[in-house]
Structure 1
Amino acid sequence: MQTLLRAVVDYLCGLQPPRSYAHPDQLLQVADYIAQHWESWGYSAKRQLFQAEGQTYQNVIAHYQPEKYPKLIIGAHYDVYDELPGADDNASAVAVLMALSQQLQQQQPELPFGVELVAYCLEEPPFFGSSLMGSAVHARSLNPPTDYFLMICLEMLGYFTDAPHSQAYPLPAMRYLYGHKGNFLAIVGNLQSRTWTQRLAKIFRKNSPVPVRTLWGPENIPGLSLSDHRNYWQIKMPALMLTDTSFLRNPNYHTAYDTPETLDFAKMELITQGLYSTLTKLTL
């Protein structure tokens, strides 16, 4: 699995020019890369096209057990900020999404729900927080939304360290509750998503050696809504973010130093395996 994780990250980070909104041809190439892999594993990949500033962008969508309802959405954005490599942000999460999707097809678990896998475009500025985010387009397209019970957003899943005082928090007092080492996976939700946050964390802890910390609360807590899950909150759907906590831990965030060599591919593999096991044990 680490071979696939590394291959995806290396491919995404090696594109020149980078996969930013300013280079739509590169984003199309990435969408083709994801779709071709999914189709080679037995999925039927769908393109969701949308317009932004006169250019066409696309989300890529695949389904596991497409006949089953309700559905769980698992997604990650594949665009990058500015002219940067974006290994942790967000090639790491795209790699986990793809490795998870491959494992589902290889193992063929019988789940009590369908899984909708989505690779989003345009999460990064200048579109972040706007109706042109790929995840906003996808959320608005759900018809009806009641066919979906939860969204899981994969956001920056590759940077882990046991160095002392390597973890910051949106609220300083949280350091005493969660610890000062940046070696855990965070599962984040809003108040509506509290029960799902707890349930997912409980199952994940039983099936993975990766430490897990949870946070739920009002959406105005700094950092709580800083990815694609925010757009599902807008349609009143429970949605969680799985993350290494981004700039609260990774000093390479949105810099040229966010390269594949800084990622922990062993941890990414454990997270993928833990997420897969969690899906197989999740009940409705």
Structure 2
Amino acid sequence: MTLKQRLLNHLQEVARERDPYIASAGHFFVQEYIRQQFSQYGSVEIHTFKVGSKSCSNLILNLPAQPRKYPVNLPLILIGAHYDGVPGTVAADDNATGVAVLLELARSFAQEPAKYPLRLIAFDMEEYGLLGSADYAALLHQQGERLRLMISLEMLGYKDSTAGSQKYPGFLDKFYPSRGDFIGLIGNLRTLGDLISLSRNMSKAGVSSQWLTTPNRGLFVPQTRLSDHAPFWDQGYPAMMVTDTAFMRNPNYHKPSDTIASLDLDFLTGVCEGLELGIRGL
């Protein structure tokens, strides 16, 4: 089966109504699907956190680094994607695409480990204010955990090559292309070298990319904070978001029209291939 077909299979399972309150059955189904997929590659850890009286779950898979002759205590690369969706939509781009790529990265790096140990996390409650990632980032900081890099996969499958399809906050339209046919890589200053490296590897997979570093935890451009990397910025970690730029490109954002049919699966496949190459190159 091709990577494109595997990604589509994941999308067909995950793209369903899955708001944790209003569509709790769909939410639980997707949670179980991710757990079952992860469990093929190792034991799945559940990080539980409370939102009011509600118990919520981040699902975690740890994958070892390449075996070495001598012990090397390398820091983790953490890769995350949120699996909850807003009410009234199957939320295919937001964020079934991120989950699908996360599951395929798990498959690839379980078969052939990366240089660094990897921790893959499916975050809950992103749509309610990044609650799952905020709780987990605070826990890592409290434990003194080192991170080589945190990568948030946030909407990866929408492409529009028509002129004027890409919007930007503030003055950024003066520096970036008007066509929404690239993947965006947005990081804090500590990730500059990684952004450049990842961008080069994206091009090897046939995907155009644009990168942006943002100082001061992204507070000057609040749109850069709208995913699960932002709590890691707040805790001082090197972190980046990989995104098709959401509502600045995709007219289906948070609408019933955010369906699998609206996605560009070739673009999504290239993003997945480029990410794998890029992570291996770190």
Mapped pair 1:216 → 2:218:
no
Q: Report the 3-state secondary structure (helix = DSSP H, G, I; strand = E; otherwise coil) of the residue aligned with 2:5.
A: helix
* Match among 139, 142, 145 for residue 141 of structure 1: 139
- Show the counterpart of 2:105: 100
Letter in 1 for 2:20: Y
User: Does the CA contact (< 8 Å) of 2:42 and 2:62 recur in 1?
Assistant: yes
Q: CA RMSD in A?
A: 1.8
Task: Note the 1:50-129 alignment, pairs <5 A.
Answer: 50-65=49-64, 69-106=74-111, 108-109=112-113, 111-124=114-127, 127-128=128-129
User: Does the CA contact (< 8 Å) of 2:197 and 2:281 recur in 1?
Assistant: no
Task: Note the 1:170-185 alignment, pairs <5 A.
Answer: 170-171=169-170, 173-185=171-183
Stretches of structure 2 that go unaligned for 5 or more consecutive residues are 68-72
Q: Report the 3-state secondary structure (helix = DSSP H, G, I; strand = E; otherwise coil) of the residue aligned with 2:227.
A: coil
Q: Report the 3-state secondary structure (helix = DSSP H, G, I; strand = E; otherwise coil) of the residue aligned with 1:178.
A: coil
Q: Count how many residue pairs are aligned between Structure 1 and Structure 2.
A: 269
User: Does the CA contact (< 8 Å) of 1:74 and 1:118 recur in 2?
Assistant: yes
Distance 1:178 1:119 in 2: 31
Q: Report the 3-state secondary structure (helix = DSSP H, G, I; strand = E; otherwise coil) of the residue aligned with 1:224.
A: helix
User: Does the CA contact (< 8 Å) of 2:88 and 2:255 recur in 1?
Assistant: no
Letter in 2 for 1:208: A
What is the TM-score normalised by the length of structure 1? 0.89
Mapped pair 1:29 → 2:34:
no
Instruction: Give the % identical residues.
Output: 32
- Note the C-alpha offset of 1:25: 4.2
- Show the counterpart of 1:186: 184
Distance 2:232 2:206 in 1: 29
User: Does the CA contact (< 8 Å) of 1:27 and 1:57 recur in 2?
Assistant: no
Q: Report the 3-state secondary structure (helix = DSSP H, G, I; strand = E; otherwise coil) of the residue aligned with 2:122.
A: strand
User: Does the CA contact (< 8 Å) of 2:15 and 2:91 recur in 1?
Assistant: yes
